[in-house]
């Protein structure tokens, strides 16, 4: 079904197509089926039939307006893998039938210093996120991957290595790049000792990636039940963070710590694991400020840092790296009708390690 709509500026008329989606109308409402409009591809766009979409904690935060600023209706999903079904007349990178992926961003200003460096996630104008950002084409908000299809400028579409399982690739688009980017930025590789704090959706990718980069990987977890799993994922050692003796074994020993915990925790305990010039980067986002003791940093010239997803060139680099090393996420596949239950389980940490929605279920 095609309709003609007028954009916010009122200047251009863009044709749209109505597609099925799953989203929510309010912070306290369950997600349910709805219809949304997708633009018909402009010359540089590709239209992707979505086959799989990963379920990120950000989806839940946004659907429930926990970070404020959610515009309803809200259709989450930014770990998208699918197949190209239509391409605009000027598209060069893709052809119909190619598999393709879309992550957390669908556009940016493309002109600022960061966009020019391929760091679109830090765009001075603010990147255009895959959902809940202003859609400059339609004048609405952007809608994410819990839907039949998506239309994206080819510059923000990624190639998927042929050897990777498509469903298990979906979480690489957020959980994968969010951990890959800081591991690369802080030069993780052979000869480096790296701590991964928290073994969830992000942490389990951090372990696999850091190990493939050649580092010695130590997982820090609060739960004894995760020790064996951490080793299966590739950890060289696992430390129960509640045990001071175990923590002390690594005091001043690590080159880098990737902290993927979003619950409240004492950051000083982890800063103390760093050797001279070591860095700790946060990728989890605890709700409240974290107190940092000056003497956790000063005596060893340590750095306390953060990192957000990754730019488009680096996201492609990450996918290619995963292709070469045969790395995908550990997933639990669900139908879209189970999404509300999946959110409840996500809150309890009851998933190994990422839910992925089989989007064929939306057609039922």
**Given the rule CB under 5 A, which residues bind Zn ion?**
56, 58, 108-109, 112, 115, 123, 174
Q: How far apart are CA 283 and CA 268, in angstroms?
A: 16
The answer to whether the CB of 339 falls within 8 A of the CB of 22 is: yes
CB of 108 to Zn ion, least distance (A): 5
Q: How far apart are CA 78 and CA 186, in angstroms?
A: 25
CB of 119 to Zn ion, least distance (A): 9
- Torsion over CA of 182, 187, 193 and 198, rounded to 10 degrees? 10
- The residue (of 206 and 278) whose beta carbon lies closer to Zn ion is 206
Q: How far apart are CA 37 and CA 82, in angstroms?
A: 18
Residues 6 or more apart whose Cβ sits within 8 Å of residue 69 = 132
CB of 233 to Zn ion, least distance (A): 20
- What is the DSSP code string of 32-74? EEEEEEEEPP-TTEEEEEEEEEE--HHHHHHHTTTTS---SSB
Using omega within 30 degrees of 0 as the cis cutoff, is the peptide bond preceding 73 cis?
A: yes
- The residue (of 104 and 157) whose beta carbon lies closer to Zn ion is 104
- The residue (of 131 and 250) whose beta carbon lies closer to Zn ion is 131
CB of 199 to Zn ion, least distance (A): 17
- Torsion over CA of 199, 308, 345 and 220, rounded to 10 degrees? 20
Q: Which residues pair with 356 in a beta bridge?
A: 54, 333
User: How wide is the angle at C-alpha 269 spanned by C-alphas 268 and 271, nearest 5°?
Assistant: 60
- The residue (of 238 and 318) whose beta carbon lies closer to Zn ion is 318
Residue 106 tokens read as 């669908």
The answer to whether the CB of 261 falls within 8 A of the CB of 223 is: no
Q: Which residue has the tokens 């690590």?
A: 254
CB of 231 to Zn ion, least distance (A): 26
Q: Which residue has the tokens 């400020």?
A: 289
In 3D space, the residue among 220, 216, 253 whose CA is nearest the CA of residue 236 turns out to be: 216
In 3D space, the residue among 181, 178, 211, 176 whose CA is nearest the CA of residue 194 turns out to be: 211
CB of 52 to Zn ion, least distance (A): 15
- The residue (of 80 and 274) whose beta carbon lies closer to Zn ion is 80
- The residue (of 108 and 241) whose beta carbon lies closer to Zn ion is 108
CB of 214 to Zn ion, least distance (A): 26
Neighbours of 251 (CB within 10 A): 13
CB of 118 to Zn ion, least distance (A): 11
The answer to whether the CB of 262 falls within 8 A of the CB of 286 is: yes
CB of 54 to Zn ion, least distance (A): 8
The answer to whether the CB of 225 falls within 8 A of the CB of 242 is: no
């Amino acid at each position: 079904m095609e309709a003609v709509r007028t954009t916010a500026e009122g200047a251009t008329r863009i044709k749209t197509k109505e597609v099925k989606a799953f989203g929510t109308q309010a912070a306290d409402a369950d997600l349910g089926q709805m219809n949304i409009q997708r633009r018909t591809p402009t010359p540089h766009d590709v239209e992707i039939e979505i086959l799989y979409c990963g379920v990120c904690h950000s989806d839940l935060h946004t659907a429930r307006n926990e970070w404020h600023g959610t515009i309803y209706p809200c259709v989450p999903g930014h770990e998208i893998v699918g197949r190209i079904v239509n391409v605009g007349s000027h598209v060069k990178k893709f052809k119909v039938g190619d598999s393709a992926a879309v992550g957390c961003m669908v556009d940016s200003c493309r002109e600022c210093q960061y966009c020019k460096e391929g760091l679109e996630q830090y765009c001075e104008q603010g990147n255009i996120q895959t959902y809940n950002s202003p859609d400059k084409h339609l004048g609405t908000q952007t809608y994410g991957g819990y839907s039949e299809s998506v239309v994206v400028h080819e510059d923000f579409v990624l190639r998927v290595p042929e050897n990777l399982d498509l469903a298990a690739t979906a979480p690489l688009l957020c959980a994968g790049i969010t951990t890959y980017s800081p591991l690369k930025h802080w030069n993780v590789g052979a000869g480096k000792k790296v701590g991964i704090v928290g073994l969830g959706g992000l942490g389990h990718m951090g372990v696999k990636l850091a190990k493939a980069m050649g580092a010695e990987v130590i997982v820090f977890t609060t739960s004894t039940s995760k020790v064996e799993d951490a080793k299966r994922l590739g950890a060289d050692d696992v430390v129960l963070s509640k045990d001071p003796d175990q923590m002390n074994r690594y005091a001043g020993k690590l080159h880098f710590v990737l902290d993927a915990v979003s619950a409240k925790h004492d950051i000083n305990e982890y800063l103390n694991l760093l050797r001279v010039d070591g860095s700790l980067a946060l990728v989890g986002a605890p709700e409240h400020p974290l107190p940092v003791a000056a003497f956790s940093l000063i005596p060893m010239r340590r750095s306390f840092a953060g990192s957000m997803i990754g730019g488009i060139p680096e996201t492609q680099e990450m996918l290619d790296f995963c292709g070469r090393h045969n790395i995908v996420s550990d997933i639990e596949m669900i139908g879209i009708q189970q999404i509300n239950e999946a959110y409840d389980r996500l809150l309890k940490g009851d998933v190994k390690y990422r839910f992925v929605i089989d989007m064929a279920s939306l057609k039922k």
